[in-house]
Amino acid sequence: MNVMEAGLYLMALGLFGVFLSLIVFYIFIKLLLRLSRGRSR
Amino acid sequence: MTEMFPAFIFIGIGAMTDFRPLFATPKMMFFGAAAQFGIFFTILAVLGLNNLFPELGYTLKEAAAIGIIGAADGPTSIVVASQFAPRLVGPITVVAYSYMSLVPIIQPPVIRLLTTKQERRIRMHYGEANIKKWVMVVFPIGITVLAGILAPMSVLLIGLLMFGNLLREAGVVNRLFNAAQNELANIVTLLLGITIGATMRYDEFLTWRTLSILALGLVAFIFDTAGGVLFAKLINLFSKDKVNPMVGAAGISAFPMASRIVQRMAKAEDPQNFILMQAAGANVAGQLGSVIAGSIILGITPWLVTLLGG
């Protein structure tokens, strides 16, 4: 593996990791909103 | 000590940040991820520049430290640079903070280039969410736990960002909350500036490398903006509720500057268009995204360096 390939790996894994993390945060926010609506009923 | 200052600043940022706009429009979270594109593009650009000018001699770790300027987040840039490129902490910090304050000059031309007048006029519905207090208290605790599982290295920064936010939302420690967002943030910023400034010896600072970092930092901010805007346009291809693509540009971490610029541009096209709160949602998501990106880079790069053979 040369350094440019390593850079491409870093880009692919990095963007995947950021999107995955923020999708999990998104689901967490949705869950909190749903729970709060459920408790108010 | 250089690593503790950014952590303290994050307590102040957390205390200043209101995550409610993100709760009102949770899908803005995705723009906080898309607008980190500039970080990774810049890492490739550094490595490409290295091929053209081998005398620059950037290693993969140094490339990663320069790329993180695209996080548009001073503390994250300092943490990554101090671990991967201690000699470049000065130039990287100066460039990161300079371009953060130049966001009003950098972003508008890029946004205009990538959007049509009609797209800039898209109105978005903003439903004022009535968010309960317990939700806002559980949020910072939950995010810290999730970040610890997903990207363990982010816990120092995300944890303290969320600790600052917990001080704000708890509502029972007003003195600590006020101290965190005023005195602590101001004093640490002052000390950090002096400490970083002291590392900038003339023989290490006045070099071609510093000039190249200045150019690459600009590349990072341009491609952050482009990443966010183009991702919003991509979402519009599949979504019924159209998103104003300018909101994507607010996904960078520079809070609240980026969201204000987006609102100003929207107002210039249509005086009745208000997308400030959606942009603020993307902006605070960008703060989470930039710290996560920084910690992923901290985790993956040493592994790739090992694969490269040291």
Question: Of the candidates B260, B241, B250, which has an alpha carbon nearest to the alpha carbon of residue B281?
Answer: B250
B291 to chain A: closest CA residue: A18
User: Is A7 within 8 Å of chain B by CB?
Assistant: yes
Annotated domain spans of chain B: 4-98+105-307
Dihedral sign of CA atoms B214, B216, B219, B221 in order: negative
B residues 220-239 closer than 8 Å to A (CB): none
Do B40 and A14 make contact, defined as CB atoms within 8 angstroms? yes
Question: Of the candidates B267, B230, B214, B261, which has an alpha carbon nearest to the alpha carbon of residue B106?
Answer: B261
Closest in B50, B150, B308 to A20, CB measured: B150
Q: Which long-range contacts (CB under 8 A, 24 or more apart) does B167-174 make?
A: B167/B11, B167/B14, B167/B15, B168/B14, B168/B15, B168/B16, B168/B17, B168/B18, B169/B133, B169/B136, B169/B137, B169/B139, B169/B140, B170/B137, B171/B133
B residues 109-168 closer than 8 Å to A (CB): 129, 131-132, 134-135, 138-139, 142-143, 146-147, 150-151
pLDDT, residue B126, reads: 83
pLDDT, residue A41, reads: 52
Instruction: Give me B20's structure tokens.
Output: 């409610």
Smallest CA–CA distance, residue B45 to chain A, in Å, is 9
Whole-number Å distance between alpha carbons of B39 and B37: 5
Arithmetic mean of pLDDT, A10-39: 94
pLDDT, residue B286, reads: 96
Q: What is the pLDDT along chain B (310 residues), one digit of tens a residue?
A: 567 899 999 999 999 999 999 999 999 999 999 999 999 999 999 999 999 999 999 999 999 999 999 999 999 999 999 999 999 999 999 999 999 999 999 999 999 999 999 999 999 988 777 899 999 999 999 999 999 999 998 999 999 999 999 999 999 999 999 999 999 999 999 999 999 999 888 888 889 999 999 999 999 999 999 999 999 999 999 998 899 999 999 999 888 899 999 999 999 999 999 999 999 999 999 999 999 999 999 999 999 999 988 6
- Report in angstroms the alpha-carbon separations of B130 from A29, A36, A40, B28, B275: 14, 10, 11, 18, 19
Total structural domains within chain A: 1
A-chain residues within 8 Å CB-CB of B310? none
Q: Is the pLDDT of residue A35 over 80?
A: yes
A-chain residues within 8 Å CB-CB of B293? 14, 17-18
Structural domain boundaries, residue A39 = 1-41
Burial code of B161-198, b = ≥16 C-beta within 10 A, e = fewer? bbbbbbbbbeeeeeebbebbbeebbeebbeebeeebee
**What count of residues does chain A have?**
41
B-chain residues within 8 Å CB-CB of A36? 131-132, 134-135
A-chain residues within 8 Å CB-CB of B84? none
CA angle B173, B177, B183 (to 5 degrees): 135
Do A22 and B63 make contact, defined as CB atoms within 8 angstroms? no
A-chain residues within 8 Å CB-CB of B143? 25, 28
ipTM of the complex model? 0.94
Whole-number Å distance between alpha carbons of B77 and B309: 26
Whole-number Å distance between alpha carbons of B69 and B88: 12
| DSSP strands (E only) in chain B | none
Smallest CA–CA distance, residue B239 to chain A, in Å, is 17
Residue pair B73/B220 in contact (Cβ under 8 Å)? The answer is: no
Smallest CA–CA distance, residue A34 to chain B, in Å, is 10
Residue pair B270/B37 in contact (Cβ under 8 Å)? The answer is: no
User: Is A3 within 8 Å of chain B by CB?
Assistant: yes
pLDDT, residue B2, reads: 65
Whole-number Å distance between alpha carbons of B21 and B220: 26
For residue B290, how far is the Cα from the chain centroid?
A: 4
Whole-number Å distance between alpha carbons of B52 and B74: 29
Do B146 and A20 make contact, defined as CB atoms within 8 angstroms? no
